[in-house]
């Protein structure tokens, strides 16, 4: 038995407490792919406010609800037009209010810089920028028509945005010594619409000129190191891989919208770098930017062209090295696909916006178990209806208990020690198979409606103590199916924690020979505020189908600790 496996859960958690107590308070930062806040690994149990819900007075009545959802972090916009209504005159009253109220509610903040771009458009730039189209030009389409999007090819635009962002970060340095703000998003869903690229004269000139040497050098290096993104980008091009030759954008990347998109990605990245680095010079918080994803069949320009998308990772990394990571806003059903595409090439996974569905509660557990994500955050969190709110609150409660167990050192051996449990798609019929250590786990998903009270109380209880049995909670549809999934964490060679609901788990020994897998015991429990395991009940008999499986019933989140043995 390895040293790691011999550590009991209690000891593991006590070790965490000692580690935390001795750690120096420091600026939040990334270490080994994890977000470190106050010296400890931190998972953002987040929720993003809807766009016009970020002014402190308006937001104030919502804090009780945000707390009840078991959030530890609120993602809140900072509006350029409000903090710099007059050029060079900064008013941080809205930020001051957010900081005070977040602290009063024991909450952290991720600030979203609605600067030059918000969903491609430039609606949040101050009036003095909006009105002065000579000084702050907009993009032009191929017909020469202007769109309300600041052109990334104009130095004055980047300079004005950089000055404002730097002022924000300076304000945080001077007024947020306790690091209520843990991450900052630079801009929001950048990308050119409704065409693949800007057609301003500066843009046309740059497009017919050479691809910058810095980009070529970086792509060559990344291609040589076999970066997946670069290879995707260059696949099908005449000059592939480490031997990309110099030339114009069309010569290097081909005649077509792909080249135009790469061109925009580089320009957006360089602009964002100018803004981000100006902010970092004031305060070294981790910065990121987020992407609007691609609807199936859409072309660049139909979706925001040149945003921080997986096939453009290497362009963004070359152009914007001040960003700590790139993040997806996942509103689509193929959640696992997009999560996987952002959790690679050393990009820590953080989901600043997710669809506020019942499945969000499962997705949060999944990204922690599968990808050791930094955090998760449904959008328009303040108006989450039932039963979604109760599901999310219950899931975040489990994550609060489990976060101390997820440390980089768990993966040091190179062997995987946790996994997310989630169907790849609604059509998937086969059980998910997960290999952890010497065991194969088969996860079957049960989306049945929660049982009625008469069938044994497999229900969720709303924040208002209402009981959801498929009909009882406001907003619930009769017969609505409960989401299913969660995570598994390996505690020892033969010991696992499962967290989630709607799961039936069977096991097989991966060792050769005729060994069969048996349940030594199955225990439901909780971790208390000290990280110590508290027994709730032993599960056996009907609850384990007389020893044949482990079951986390539909409609009720729980943690089960399972010890296996082999027999023949």
By the criterion CB under 6 A, which residues form the site for ligand DGJ? 51, 119, 188-189, 329, 353, 379
Least distance CB 188 / ligand DGJ (angstroms): 5
Closest CB 12 distance from ligand DGJ, rounded Å: 38
DSSP three-state, residue 63? helix
Nearest residue (CB) to ligand DGJ, 166 versus 292: 292
Smallest separation, CB 50 to ligand DGJ (Å): 7
Question: Using CA atoms, how far apart are residues 282 and 181, in angstroms rounded to an integer?
Answer: 14
Task: Compute the least distance from the CB of residue 480 to ligand DGJ, in Å.
Answer: 22
Which residue is closest to ligand DGJ by CB?
189
Q: Which is nearer to ligand DGJ, 314 or 353 (CB)?
A: 353
- Residues 57, 59, 62, 67, CA torsion sign: negative
Work out how close the CB of 161 gets to ligand DGJ at its nearest, in angstroms, rounded to a whole number: 18
Are 172 and 110 in contact by the 8 Å Cβ rule? The answer is no
Counts of helices then strands in the chain (DSSP H, E): 17, 25
Tally of CA atoms within 13 A in the half-sphere of 325 that contains its CB: 27
Phi-psi region of 497 (alpha: psi -120 to 50; beta: other; left: phi over 0): beta
Nearer of residues 137 and 310 to ligand DGJ, judged by Cβ:
310
State which residue, 48 or 101, has the beta carbon closest to ligand DGJ: 48
Contact 549, 506 (CB under 8 A): yes
Measured between alpha carbons, how far is 319 from 338 in angstroms, rounded to an integer?
Answer: 22
Q: Which is nearer to ligand DGJ, 377 or 504 (CB)?
A: 377
What stretches of 281-359 show up as alpha helix (H) in DSSP? 313-319, 335-342
CB of 48 to ligand DGJ, least distance (A): 7
Nearer to ligand DGJ, 329 or 386 (CB): 329
Beta-bridged to residue 523, according to DSSP, are 538, 561
Could you tell me the smallest distance in angstroms from the CB atom of residue 381 to ligand DGJ? 12
Tell me if 114 sits within 8 A of 80, measured CB to CB.
yes
Of the two residues 334 and 452, which places its CB atom closer to ligand DGJ in the complex? Answer: 334
Report yes or no: 40 and 56 within 8 Å, Cβ to Cβ.
Answer: no
Q: Closest approach of Cβ 205 to ligand DGJ, in Å?
A: 31
Question: Could you tell me the strand order of the sheet in which 34-37 lies?
Answer: 29-31, 34-37, 40-41
| Identity of the residue, 354 or 399, whose beta carbon is nearer to ligand DGJ in the bound complex | 354
Sheet holding 533-538, edge to edge: 418-421, 485-492, 495-501, 558-567, 516-527, 533-538
């Amino acid at each position: 038995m390895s040293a790691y496996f011999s550590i009991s859960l209690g000891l593991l958690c006590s070790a965490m407490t000692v580690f935390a107590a001795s750690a120096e308070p420091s600026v939040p930062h990334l270490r080994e792919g994890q977000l470190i806040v106050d010296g400890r690994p931190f998972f953002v149990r987040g929720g993003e406010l809807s766009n016009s819900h970020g002014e402190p007075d308006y937001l104030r009545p919502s804090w009780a609800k945000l707390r009840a959802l078991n959030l530890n972090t609120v993602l809140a916009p900072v509006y350029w037009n409000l903090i710099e209504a007059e050029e060079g005159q900064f008013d941080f009253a809205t930020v001051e209010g957010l900081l005070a109220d977040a602290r009063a509610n024991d909450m952290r903040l991720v600030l979203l810089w609605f600067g030059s771009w918000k969903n491609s458009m430039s609606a949040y730039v101050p009036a003095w920028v909006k009105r002065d189209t000579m000084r702050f030009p907009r993009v032009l389409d191929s017909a020469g028509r202007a769109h309300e999007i600041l052109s990334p090819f104009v130095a004055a635009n980047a300079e004005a945005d950089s000055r404002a962002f730097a002022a924000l970060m300076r304000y945080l340095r001077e007024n947020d010594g306790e690091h209520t703000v843990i991450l900052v998003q630079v801009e929001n869903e950048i990308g050119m619409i409704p065409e693949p690229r800007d057609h301003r004269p500066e843009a046309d000139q740059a497009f017919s000129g050479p691809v910058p040497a810095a980009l070529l050098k970086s792509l060559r290096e990344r291609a040589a190191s076999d970066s997946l993104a670069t290879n995707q980008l260059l696949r099908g091009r005449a000059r592939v891989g480490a031997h990309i030759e110099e030339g114009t954008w069309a010569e290097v990347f081909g005649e077509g919208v792909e080249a135009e998109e790469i061109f925009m990605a580089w320009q957006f990245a360089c602009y964002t770098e100018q803004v981000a680095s100006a902010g970092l010079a004031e305060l070294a918080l981790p910065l990121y930017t987020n992407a609007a994803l691609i609807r199936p069949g859409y072309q660049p320009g139909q979706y925001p062209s040149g945003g921080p998308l997986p096939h453009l990772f290497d362009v963004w990394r070359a152009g914007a090295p001040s960003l700590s990571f790139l993040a997806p806003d996942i509103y689509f059903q193929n959640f696992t696909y997009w999560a996987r595409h952002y959790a690679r090439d050393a990009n820590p996974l953080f989901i600043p916006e997710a669809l506020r569905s019942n499945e969000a509660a499962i997705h949060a557990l999944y990204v922690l178990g599968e990808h050791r994500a930094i955090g998760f955050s449904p959008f328009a969190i303040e108006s989450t209806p039932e039963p979604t709110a109760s599901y999310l609150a219950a899931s975040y409660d489990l994550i609060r208990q489990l976060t101390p167990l997820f440390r980089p050192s768990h993966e040091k051996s190179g062997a995987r020690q946790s996994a997310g449990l989630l169907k790849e798609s609604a059509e998937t019929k086969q059980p998910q198979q997960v290999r952890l250590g010497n065991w194969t786990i088969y996860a079957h998903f049960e989306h049945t409606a929660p049982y009625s009270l008469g069938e044994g109380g497999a229900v969720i209880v709303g924040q208002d103590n209402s009981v959801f049995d498929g009909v009882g909670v406001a907003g619930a549809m009769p017969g609505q199916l409960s989401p299913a999934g969660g995570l598994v964490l390996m505690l020892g060679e033969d010991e696992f924690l499962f967290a989630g609901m709607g799961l039936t788990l069977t096991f097989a020994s991966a060792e050769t020979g005729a060994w069969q897998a048996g349940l030594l015991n199955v225990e439901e429990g909780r971790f208390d505020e000290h990280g110590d395991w508290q027994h709730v009940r032993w599960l056996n008999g009907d609850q384990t189908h007389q020893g044949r499986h482990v079951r986390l019933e539909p409609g009720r989140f729980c943690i089960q600790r399972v010890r296996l043995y082999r027999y023949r």
